[in-house]
Structure 1
Amino acid sequence: MKAQVFRGVNNLQYEEIPIPELAEDEVLVQVKVVGLCQSDIKKIKYPLYEPPRIFGHETAGTICQIGAAVEGWQVGDRVVVMHHIPCMNCGYCETGSYSMCETYKNITTTAGFAPSGGGFAEYVKVPGHIVRQGGLIPIPDYVTFEQASFVEPTNCCLKAVKKAQIRTGQTVLITGAGPIGLMFVMLVNHFGAKAIVTDLIPARLEKALAVGALAAFDACDRDLTHKVQDLTQGYGVDVSLLAVPSEKAFFQALDCTRKGGKILFFAEFPDEVEIPLNPNLLYRREIDLMGSYSSAFPLQALSAELVFENKIDVNALISDRYPLSELANAVEQAIQPTPETYKILLYP
């Protein structure tokens, strides 16, 4: 089969490699579409992992082979592949911190080499633990593979929205109007809150308004704080979601968040970034700082429902489609986006 093999920093090789062999409790899925995620891009652009590896994890496809011990699935079933499933038994899972679970972190889908997601290939193998514990989600006939590939990123964003306890009547600041920021707008609206968005690209601000934002402002606007206050009766937003790894965006969020509000870090910052902060700003204003990483297993069904029942319009997020052979070009476009670049999908 063909796969995009990570051979080192900025070194992707479109290679012919063996189709993974199955154990009796495993499933092989033919990849129909896979989304390009910012975490994939970081793994390709920075020395985070030893090569060789095959990345890609926002995967939808068709089961083409099943192990002898697999029950409940048939060849031909259309599925979303969740690349991580927690153990549900450890101290992290017992407290709801599923993405901290060692099983969640270490057992993943693979197309070969060190298991690393494996979606950037023609076929991906799903380990028995993931098969048994609900890591395959059936795709209804009326849902496209493209739409289904959004279930995993929807789960990640939904986890953040739930963690920040966003609810009806609240106002939420979203920094960044890329595909993740736009998905946040849709989810915020779904739960009855209002979204205010910032970005540096005018076309993205227009897109944010088109998908339901209450307002959208240039991130360099010197009057941003006052404009946010005007929209929130002088209080500021209830929650700020940082969808871009920007120190300036954090301090804007701090200025725009009301007393007693929350600021959630969703985008991953470079490790060398340190943000100087007077703790009294949090103490006196009772601001909660929190982070949200990856997905949450209990939200898997709701994430699928939101996508499958068109409760959020994931089609509006798709901007570009590439054959898998052009993954390197897709990565470069994501790093240097045009004004119309949002979600990029790849096809083996």
Structure 2
Amino acid sequence: MKAQVFRGVNQLSYEELPVPTLADDEVLVQVQVVGLCQSDIKKILYPLYEPPRIFGHEMAGIIAKVGEKVTDWQVGQRVVVMHHIPCMRCQYCLHDNFSMCEVYKNISTTAGFNASGGGFAEYVKVPGHIVRNGGLILIPDRVTFEQASFVEPTNCCLKAVKKAQIAPGESVLVTGAGPIGLMFVMLIKYFGGKAISTDLIPSRLEKALSVGAEAAFDARDPNLTANILALTNGMGVDTTLLAVPSDKAFFQALECTRRGGKILFFAEFPDQLEIPINPNILYRREIDLMGSYSSSYRLQSLAVDIVFNQRIDVNALISDRFSLQELPAAVTRATSPQSDTLKILIYP
């Protein structure tokens, strides 16, 4: 099979590899489409993981083979593949902190080498733990592979929306109108909130308005805070979701979030970046700071319902399609986006 192997920082090698062999409780999936995630890009461009590895985790495909002890799944079924499933028994899981679970972190789908998702390959192996515990989701005939590939990122965004307790009627500032920021806008509208979007690219601001934002502003606008206060009766937004790793966006969030409001970090910031803050700002204004990382097993059924029943329009997020061989070009496109670049899909 063909695969894009991470051989070092910004070194992807298009190689011929053996198709993964299965244990008796495992499943082999032929990958039809895999989303290019910002976390994949960071893993490729920065020294975060030891090579060799095969990344890619927003996967949808067709079951190509099942182990002898697998009885619930059959060759030919169309499935979403979740690359992590928690143990549901450790203290983290019992507190719904599923992404902190050691089983969640260490057992993953693989196309070879150290298990790292494996979606950037023609075939991916699904471990028995994931097969047995809800990591394969049957795709209805009415749903395309492209749409199905959005289940995992939708879950991640849902987790943040639920953690921030966004309620009907609330105003939410979303910093960044890339594919994740736009998905936040859609979900906020779906749950009855009012989204305000910021970005640096005019076409993305227009896109935010088209998918449901109440307003959209250039993040460099010197009147940004005044504009947001005017939209919120002088109070500021109830919640800010930071969908870009920008310290400037954080300080804008402090200015634009009301007293008693919440600021949630969703984007991963560079490790070397430190943000100085006077703690009295949080104390006197009772601002809650929180983070949301990865997906929640608790929300998997809801994510599936939202995507499969088209509660949000994930098709509107797709801008580019690349073959697996073109993955390096896709990474370049994502890091130097054109005016219309949003979600990039890869086709093994």
Name the TM-score, length of structure 1 as normaliser: 1.00
The AA in structure 1 aligned to 2:293 is Y
Task: Look up the match of 1:60.
Answer: 60
Task: Look up the match of 1:292.
Answer: 292
Task: Look up the match of 2:156.
Answer: 156
Which ranges of structure 2 fall in alignment gaps of 5 or more residues? none
Task: Look up the match of 2:10.
Answer: 10
Task: Look up the match of 1:266.
Answer: 266
1:290 is displaced (CA, Å) by: 0.1
The AA in structure 2 aligned to 1:207 is K
How far apart, CA to CA, are the structure 2 residues paired with 1:330 and 1:174?
Answer: 25
User: Are 1:218 and 2:210 an aligned pair?
Assistant: no
The AA in structure 2 aligned to 1:292 is S
Query: 3-state DSSP class of the match of 1:169?
Result: coil
User: Are 1:257 and 2:257 an aligned pair?
Assistant: yes
Identity rate of aligned residues, in percent? 74
The AA in structure 2 aligned to 1:260 is G
Which ranges of structure 1 fall in alignment gaps of 5 or more residues? none
Spell out, residue by residue over 1:288-311, the C-alpha distance to the aligned partner (whole angstroms, 9 max, x if none). Answer: 000000000010010011000000
Spell out, residue by residue over 1:201-242, the C-alpha distance to the aligned partner (whole angstroms, 9 max, x if none). Answer: 001000000101000000001111111011001110000000
Spell out, residue by residue over 1:256-285, the C-alpha distance to the aligned partner (whole angstroms, 9 max, x if none). Answer: 000000000000000000000000000000
The AA in structure 1 aligned to 2:206 is E
How far apart, CA to CA, are the structure 2 residues paired with 1:254 and 1:147?
Answer: 35
The AA in structure 2 aligned to 1:119 is G
The AA in structure 1 aligned to 2:12 is L
Task: Look up the match of 1:336.
Answer: 336
User: Are 1:188 and 2:188 an aligned pair?
Assistant: yes
How far apart, CA to CA, are the structure 2 residues paired with 1:287 and 1:10?
Answer: 39
1:71 is displaced (CA, Å) by: 1.8
How far apart, CA to CA, are the structure 2 residues paired with 1:31 and 1:83?
Answer: 13
Q: Which aligned pairs between 1:137-156 and structure 2 lie closer than 5 A?
A: 137-156=137-156
> What is the RMSD computed on CA atoms of the aligned residues?
0.3
Task: Look up the match of 1:38.
Answer: 38
How far apart, CA to CA, are the structure 2 residues paired with 1:91 and 1:73?
Answer: 31
How far apart, CA to CA, are the structure 2 residues paired with 1:180 and 1:42?
Answer: 15
Q: Which aligned pairs between 1:1-348 and structure 2 lie closer than 5 A?
A: 1-348=1-348
How far apart, CA to CA, are the structure 1 residues paired with 2:75 and 2:5?
Answer: 27
- Poorly superposed stretches of 4+, deviation over 6 Å: none
Spell out, residue by residue over 1:174-226, the C-alpha distance to the aligned partner (whole angstroms, 9 max, x if none). Answer: 00000000000000000000000000000100000010100000000111111
How far apart, CA to CA, are the structure 2 residues paired with 1:252 and 1:111?
Answer: 42
How far apart, CA to CA, are the structure 1 residues paired with 2:138 and 2:231?
Answer: 42
How far apart, CA to CA, are the structure 2 residues paired with 1:111 and 1:245?
Answer: 30
Query: 3-state DSSP class of the match of 1:156?
Result: helix
How far apart, CA to CA, are the structure 1 residues paired with 2:137 and 2:226?
Answer: 45
Spell out, residue by residue over 1:3-32, the C-alpha distance to the aligned partner (whole angstroms, 9 max, x if none). Answer: 000000010000000000000000000000
The AA in structure 1 aligned to 2:320 is D
How far apart, CA to CA, are the structure 2 residues paired with 1:232 and 1:223?
Answer: 14
1:83 is displaced (CA, Å) by: 0.1
1:125 is displaced (CA, Å) by: 0.2
Aligned length: 348
Query: 3-state DSSP class of the match of 1:330?
Result: helix
Query: 3-state DSSP class of the match of 2:111?
Result: coil
Spell out, residue by residue over 1:301-322, the C-alpha distance to the aligned partner (whole angstroms, 9 max, x if none). Answer: 1001100000000000000000
The AA in structure 1 aligned to 2:75 is V
The AA in structure 1 aligned to 2:184 is F
The AA in structure 2 aligned to 1:46 is Y
How far apart, CA to CA, are the structure 1 residues paired with 2:92 and 2:69?
Answer: 29
Spell out, residue by residue over 1:315-336, the C-alpha distance to the aligned partner (whole angstroms, 9 max, x if none). Answer: 0000000000000000000000
1:247 is displaced (CA, Å) by: 0.2
How far apart, CA to CA, are the structure 2 residues paired with 1:313 and 1:126?
Answer: 28
